[in-house]
Amino acid sequence: MAKKIPTRLYLSEDETPQYWYNIRADMAEKPDPILHPGTLQPASAADLEGVFCKEPVRQELDETTRLIKIPDGLQDFYRAYRPAPLIRAYFLEKELGTPAEIYYKHEGTNTSGSHKLNSAAAQAFYAQQEGLASLSTETGAGQWGSAMAMACAFYGLRLTVYMVKVSSEQKPYRKALIETYGAELIPSPSDTTEAGRKILAQDPSTGGSLGCAISEAIEKAVKTDKCRYVLGSVLNHVLLHQSIIGQEVKAAFDKYDIKPDIIIGCAGGGSNLGGLIAPFMGDKLNRASKTRIIAVEPASCPSFTRGQYAYDFGDTAKTTPLIRMYTLGNGFIPSANHAGGLRYHGMNPVLSKLYRDGFLEARAVVQTDVFDAAIRFAKAEGILPAPESSHAVKVAIDEALECKRSGEKKIILFGLTGTGYFDMTAYMAYNAKAMTDLIPTDTDLAKGFSSLPDIPQNRC
């Protein structure tokens, strides 16, 4: 008889992965290069190093190295909160009455409450190695700012976080957490940068936006000695750092000879999904598996399912390099949705290419259904999921119920990217039945697409 799978699939310290896995090395067709917005030529390391740290830039442009060693000084920090629990959802399976096996990787056990710490720690580690004194970044929902504040405290770097003003008002505890770890928090737009002052002059009462906060953070990095800018999603080096998630799952699954049929992850900029699926996508690219991979996004911000595959800016101020990705247009403003971490107009270029080439499926879901699923999961498994993570929970439950109908005993894995303890306003809205589902019309989307850059690469 097959051995019983434990509720927690442990990895000991010497079984934990020593390498990140770079999906691009196994892609026969690579994603299109990042372009310099002025010359429209592929961006060079020199173009990017004025803004970002050197080693992450090297990783960003590396399409050939399959396995990249996780530096010892970073492994030390990872060991403080990793390996992240990989849990067999026995209680949820029972509650659903499904023959499917459900597993989830729980990235919310660290204080910042999400997977974002995996890349925050890596980026802070490299900044310290390069002799930098400080970093700057933006945060929308607050998870990335919290993760960076923790990482900078550990590696002894100063940090300035530009937090979208409405968000800093709506999520005071996120703001407090970031400040507790010693970072300077500036509600954006602010009068501390030219970009901020310009936006304030146009609209003094604005609540700010992620695009504006990005512009402020980049300006701060460029104008401050020994300071660089860090980003928490979308870029390839962030995806690479997050591959620790999938590498750990693969190591644990291999121990018990488990082969997932379906892998599900929520997708904002794509970093947790790209990290979770990395080694499994590698097997798929090498024709060694038929695992289905599903990206889940909010119906209010449907980059994969309704976006265009085009070159676009990463920010609304149109200052970043151009990235070919599924995008709703840098000018697209998603309606208020409680999954703040999924409100981004674009998607990581590697995942975009894989979706384009049919290696990845995508599904959009509405937030009331997402919260129904979140609460069903919370009651069965005891963990209150982040609204972002609950998108994956929703589709995992749907797939498990599909197995119940068909009688198939599939193996389902999903990423539980974080906990929802800082998102109680969202749960309060749900409990008060005050939550709405706002889906953009084609006219809304057309407005976003009209902000795409008018360059030759977008016309063919």
Stretch 141-180: interaction string toward ligand PLP, x if CB under 6 A: --x-------------------------------------
CA dist 427 → 168, 319, 339, 430, 443 (Å):
18, 36, 11, 5, 31
Position 272 contacts ligand PLP (CB under 6 A): yes
Candidate list 16, 134, 136, 271; residue touching ligand PLP; CB under 6 A: 271
423 is written with which tokens?
Answer: 């998102």
- Distance CA(339)–CA(298), nearest Å, equals 8
What CA–CA distance (Å, rounded) separates 427 from 289? Answer: 38
Applying CB under 6 A, which part among 40-48, 98-106, 131-139, 266-274 lies near ligand PLP?
Answer: 266-274
Angle, helix 236-256 to helix 271-285, in steps of 10 degrees: 60
Does residue 374 touch ligand PLP according to CB under 6 A? no
Nearest distance in Å: CB 120, ligand PLP: 11
Contact 114, 418 (CB under 8 A): yes
Residue 266 interacts with ligand PLP (CB under 6 A): yes or no: yes
Stretch of 53-61, 166-174, 261-269, 319-327 contacting ligand PLP, by CB under 6 A:
261-269
Q: At its nearest, how many Å lie between ligand PLP and the CB of residue 33? A: 21
Among 317, 389, 393, 423, binds ligand PLP (CB under 6 A): 389
Please give the Cα distance from 376 to 158 (Å, whole number).
41
Is the CB of 93 or the CB of 388 nearer to ligand PLP? 388
Residue found under tokens 């860090």: 230
Binding to ligand PLP in span 228-257, by CB under 6 A: 233
Q: Does 270 engage in binding with ligand PLP (CB under 6 A)?
A: yes
Q: How near is the Cβ of 418 to ligand PLP at its closest, in Å?
A: 3
Q: Which stretch binds ligand PLP (CB under 6 A): 130-138, 191-199, 268-276, 300-308?
A: 268-276
Min CB(315)–ligand PLP separation in Å: 16
Q: Which is nearer to ligand PLP, 343 or 410 (CB)?
A: 343
Residue 354 is a binding residue for ligand PLP (CB under 6 A): no
114 sits near ligand PLP (criterion: CB under 6 A): yes
Beta carbon nearer to ligand PLP, 132 or 273:
273
Residue with Cβ nearer ligand PLP (9 or 347): 347
Using the rule CB under 6 A, is 418 a contact of ligand PLP?
A: yes
For the bound state, the minimum distance from the C-beta of residue 3 to ligand PLP, rounded and expressed in Å, comes to: 33
Q: Does 388 bind ligand PLP (CB under 6 A)?
A: yes
As a whole number of angstroms, the distance between CA 23 and CA 224 comes to 34
DSSP lists the bridge partners of residue 296 as 266, 363
Q: How far is the CB of 371 from ligand PLP (least distance, A)?
A: 15
Binding of residue 269 to ligand PLP (CB under 6 A):
yes
60 near ligand PLP (CB under 6 A): no
The single residue among 116, 250, 345, 394 that binds ligand PLP, judged by CB under 6 A, is 116
- The residue whose two tokens read 């002799």 is 131
Using CB under 6 A, which of the segments 14-22, 125-133, 269-277, 444-452 binds ligand PLP? Answer: 269-277
Distance CA 220, CA 229 (A): 8
The stretch near ligand PLP (CB under 6 A) out of 25-33, 42-50, 264-272, 326-334 is 264-272
CB nearer ligand PLP, residue 143 or residue 243 = 143
**Interface residue with ligand PLP, options 386, 393, 397, 452 (CB under 6 A):** 386
Q: Which residues bind ligand PLP (CB under 6 A)?
A: 114, 116, 143, 233, 266-272, 341-342, 386, 388-389, 417-418
